[in-house]
């Protein structure tokens, strides 16, 4: 039996690199030979706090690689030898052989894109979770028309809190293409980056009252949409204070505690990226059934995003390679835990 190396979740939140059989592929999947995988902070949260997964489950979400084999029930979008990138749901006890930090990945067709030859697969590995989470934020939660099916009304504002995060970098770009005017927050060192992605105005967030005043000086009482990539500290207060007196919607990357929601006229919408594969999963001790609506949305969006990549219409996030291949994953976990994360995404070449 052919084998591969994989990073697995072990008891007490530890990691190990083990030799395991190359996994079988199921209905609607391809087997991808991994070239690179990218680190998401949620990887740390899952392992450090035991939010999901468990002993024996594979780790990691974002990947890029080469199609090795086609599974049953696929549409023919991809063929062996194609360069692809996407997301897989790692640390899921329902699918313990599926994770990005391994040499071969069973990957769902609807969460992958062909990668143009002019884009390095290391760079493309950073796309996965950020892109699909931003798509859910805009098209599933805020109910913005999917690209190609319409745009928001001219002059409509979107407030993006935490503009330099991976998800926000994608959200700003997709929102701009959807017709939004964008105001964002970010640390001063990241203002130029956030503007380059499409934000018209970028403000510091450390002085809460000053931040609220600055955002309102731009949007007045017209802000009906917001995306919060931070959802902790004072982000909820700032966002809610900026939303119009007529109410609005806020898409949140993690659920906001009810006691922090001070307005009943604002919908606080939680983005569930774990639902994208369309499979059942476990998280924080709870069981969640398959969600066909998220899967359907991403299935529609993926070919559209693939064209954006091919046309050079989407800017890729900056990356920093951690040496050592899969052996470097532990170092990456240590860096994120030490608070060294920034707008550069950590990548491992497998």
Mean pLDDT of 87-93: 93
pLDDT band, residue 11 (cuts 50/70/90): confident
Fold of 131-271: Rossmann fold (3.40.50)
Answer yes or no: is pLDDT of 13 > 80.
no
Answer yes or no: is pLDDT of 323 > 80.
yes
Q: Name residue 22's beta-bridge partners.
A: none
Mean pLDDT of 4-17: 88
Both tokens assigned to 122: 């290391």
Mean pLDDT of 135-155: 97
Answer yes or no: is pLDDT of 301 > 80.
yes
Contact 318, 341 (CB under 8 A): no
Mean pLDDT of 36-58: 88
Greatest C-alpha distance within the chain = 65
Pairing mode, strands 157-161 and 225-228: parallel
What are the residues whose beta carbons fall under 8 Å from the beta carbon of 309, sequence distance 6 or more? 113, 114, 115, 116, 119
> What is residue 40's predicted lDDT score, i.e. its pLDDT?
94
The number of CA neighbours under 13 Å toward the Cβ of 142 is 33
> What is residue 83's predicted lDDT score, i.e. its pLDDT?
98
Both tokens assigned to 43: 């990887």
Alpha-carbon distance of 240 to 99, in angstroms, equals 36
> What is residue 281's predicted lDDT score, i.e. its pLDDT?
87
The edge-to-edge listing of strands for the beta sheet with 157-161 is 201-203, 181-185, 157-161, 225-228, 248-252, 266-270
- Is the dihedral angle over the CA atoms 255, 256, 259, 264 positive or is it negative? negative
> What is residue 315's predicted lDDT score, i.e. its pLDDT?
97
Please give, one letter per residue, the 3-state secondary structure of the chain: CCEEEEEEEEHHHEEEEEEEECCCCCCCEEEEEEEEEECCHHHHHHHHHCCCCCCCCECCCEEEEEEEEECCCCCCCCCCCCEEEEECCCCCCCCCCCCCCECEEEEEHHHEEECCCCCCHHHHCCCHHHHHHHHHHHHHHCCCCCCCCCCCCCCCEEEEECCCCHHHHHHHHHHHHCCCEEEEECCHHHHHHHHHHCCCEEECCCCHHHHHHHHHHHHCCCCCEEEECCCCCCHHHHHHHHCCCCCEEEEECCCCCHHHCCCCCEEEEECCHHHCCCCCEEECCEEECCCHHHHHHHHHHHHHHHHHHHCCCCCCCCEEECCCHHHHHHHHHHHHHCCCCCCCEEEEEC
Both tokens assigned to 110: 């609807």
pLDDT band, residue 147 (cuts 50/70/90): very high
Both tokens assigned to 140: 């599933």
Phi then psi for residue 267, to 5 deg, are: -80, 120
Answer yes or no: is pLDDT of 51 > 90.
no
Q: In CATH, what number does 3-127+277-349 get?
A: 3.90.180.10
Mean pLDDT of 16-22: 96
Answer yes or no: is pLDDT of 1 > 90.
no
> What is residue 280's predicted lDDT score, i.e. its pLDDT?
87
Both tokens assigned to 303: 């070919």
> What is residue 228's predicted lDDT score, i.e. its pLDDT?
98
Per-domain residue ranges of the chain: 3-127+277-349, 131-271
Answer yes or no: is pLDDT of 12 > 80.
no
Alpha-carbon distance of 93 to 161, in angstroms, equals 32
pLDDT in tens, 215-240: 999 999 999 999 999 999 999 999 99
Percent of the chain's residues with pLDDT above 90: 87
> What is residue 184's predicted lDDT score, i.e. its pLDDT?
98
Both tokens assigned to 4: 């591969």
pLDDT in tens, 191-201: 999 999 999 99
Alpha-carbon distance of 218 to 320, in angstroms, equals 35
pLDDT in tens, 174-184: 999 999 999 99
Answer yes or no: is pLDDT of 341 > 80.
no
Answer yes or no: is pLDDT of 102 > 80.
yes
> What is residue 271's predicted lDDT score, i.e. its pLDDT?
96
pLDDT in tens, 254-289: 999 999 999 999 999 999 999 999 988 888 788 889
The number of CA neighbours under 13 Å toward the Cβ of 64 is 23
Percent of the chain's residues with pLDDT above 70: 100
Pairing mode, strands 14-21 and 3-10: antiparallel
Alpha-carbon distance of 185 to 237, in angstroms, equals 13
């Amino acid at each position: 039996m052919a084998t591969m190396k994989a990073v697995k979740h072990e008891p007490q939140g530890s990691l190990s690199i083990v030799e395991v059989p190359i996994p079988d592929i199921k209905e609607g999947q391809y087997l991808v030979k991994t070239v690179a995988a990218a680190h998401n902070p949620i990887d740390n949260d899952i392992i450090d706090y035991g939010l999901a997964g468990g002993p024996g489950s594979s780790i990691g979400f974002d990947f890029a690689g080469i199609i090795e084999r086609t599974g049953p029930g696929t549409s023919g979008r991809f063929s062996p030898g194609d360069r692809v990138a996407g997301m897989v749901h790692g640390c899921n006890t329902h699918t313990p052989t599926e994770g990005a930090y391994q040499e071969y990945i069973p990957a769902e067709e609807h969460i992958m894109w062909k990668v143009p030859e002019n884009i390095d697969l290391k760079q493309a590995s950073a796309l996965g979770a950020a892109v699909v989470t931003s798509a859910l934020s805009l098209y599933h939660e805020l109910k913005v028309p999917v690209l190609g099916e319409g745009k928001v009304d001219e002059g409509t504002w979107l407030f993006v809190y935490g503009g330099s995060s991976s998800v926000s970098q994608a959200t700003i770009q997709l929102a701009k293409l959807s017709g939004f005017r964008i105001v964002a927050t970010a640390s001063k060192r990241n203002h130029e980056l956030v503007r380059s992605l499409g934000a018209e105005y970028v403000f510091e967030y450390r002085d809460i009252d000053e931040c609220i005043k600055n955002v309102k000086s731009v949007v007045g009482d017209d802000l009906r949409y917001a995306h919060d990539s931070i959802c902790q500290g004072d982000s909820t207060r700032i966002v809610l204070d900026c939303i119009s007196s007529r109410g609005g919607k806020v898409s949140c990357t993690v659920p906001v505690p009810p006691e922090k929601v001070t307005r009943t006229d604002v919908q606080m919408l939680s983005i569930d990226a774990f639902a994208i594969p369309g499979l059942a999963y476990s998280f924080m001790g709870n069981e969640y059934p398959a969600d066909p609506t998220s899967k359907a949305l991403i299935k529609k969006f993926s070919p559209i995003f693939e064209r954006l990549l091919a046309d050079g219409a989407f800017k890729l996030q900056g990356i920093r390679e951690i040496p050592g291949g899969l052996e470097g994953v532990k170092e990456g976990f240590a860096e994120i835990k030490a608070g060294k994360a920034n707008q550069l995404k950590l990548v491992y070449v497998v």
